[in-house]
Amino acid sequence: MVRRTLLCLLALILAAGLTRGAGAATPDEVMAQVQGVYDKAGAFKAYFRQESRLKAAPQAETAEGWMYFQKPSRMRWQYEAPPDQKKEIVADGRQVWMYMPQDSLVMVYKLDQVLRSDLVMRFFSGMGQFQKDFDIAFRRPPEQGSPDVIDLMPKNPQPELKRLTLTINPRTYQVEKLEFENALGEETRFSFSRVELNLHLEPGFFTFTPPPGVQVVKESPG
């Protein structure tokens, strides 16, 4: 769960806003604009709905809540539904905390334990380049009034990221949906709404202090 959630930030940083240059018609040109926005992205938040289809599971898992992101590698996910599975995932750029209040448990990971893909790590460190790292193509020809849907396929095999697909609002050019698939065929989809850009968030917002009485388990590298 932690890894699937954080992997989606590879594309979620794009939700900071997109502007298409005049006459831009190819997916590479659209993503060049995206790359420029990402390079200057500040803090933002969005309401998300997540749907995960795991290979061994009989049906999809769904969840929703609020997420916050600030470059580089700082994020906070507040899962609000389903109500019996509330949790928080917080990352400060070095560590990741996953707090499950119903279990009175906090799991602590090093960031590189969670983001094992070198491709994802480059994006979180600000070194990623869409054109260098992905083959980029429209999933279907763009149509006036319809969202743009762009597939990004890693040029180098990535077991945790086989395909990434972005659905972009043609008026605001913000990412409304994203989905990614790993080498096992497991898929995770996110949809986003109520995006707020250029937030001012205190540095302590991206740290986590376990409540009294909560068990803290630090995961060792595996």
**pLDDT of 81 over the 90 cut:** yes
Mean pLDDT of all residues belonging to the chain: 77
Q: What is the pLDDT of residues 125-179, one digit of tens each?
A: 454 566 777 888 998 887 777 888 889 888 887 777 888 888 877 666 677 888 8
**pLDDT of 83 over the 70 cut:** yes
More confident residue, 210 or 28: 210
DSSP string, the chain: -HHHHHHTHHHHGGGG---PPTT--SHHHHHHHHHHHHHT--EEEEEEEEEEE-TT-SS-EEEEEEEEEETTTEEEEEEEESGGG-EEEEEESSEEEEEEGGGTEEEEEEHHHH---HHHHHHHTT---HHHHEEEEESS---TTS-EEEEEEESS--TT-SEEEEEE-TTT--EEEEEEE-TT--EEEEEEEEEEEEE---GGGG---PPTT-EEEEPPP-
Domain boundaries, the chain: 2-218
Question: For residue 132, what pLDDT is reported?
Answer: 76
Looking at 4-8, 108-112, 171-175, 186-190, which range is the least confident one?
4-8
- For the chain, percent of residues with pLDDT exceeding 70: 73
Average pLDDT over residues 38-46: 71
Question: For residue 199, what pLDDT is reported?
Answer: 83
Question: For residue 20, what pLDDT is reported?
Answer: 43
Question: For residue 33, what pLDDT is reported?
Answer: 63
Looking at 3.30.1120.130, 4.10.93.10, 2.50.20.10, 3.50.50.60, the CATH number of the domain 2-218 comes to 2.50.20.10
pTM of the model: 0.78
Average pLDDT over residues 196-214: 88
Average pLDDT over residues 39-68: 83
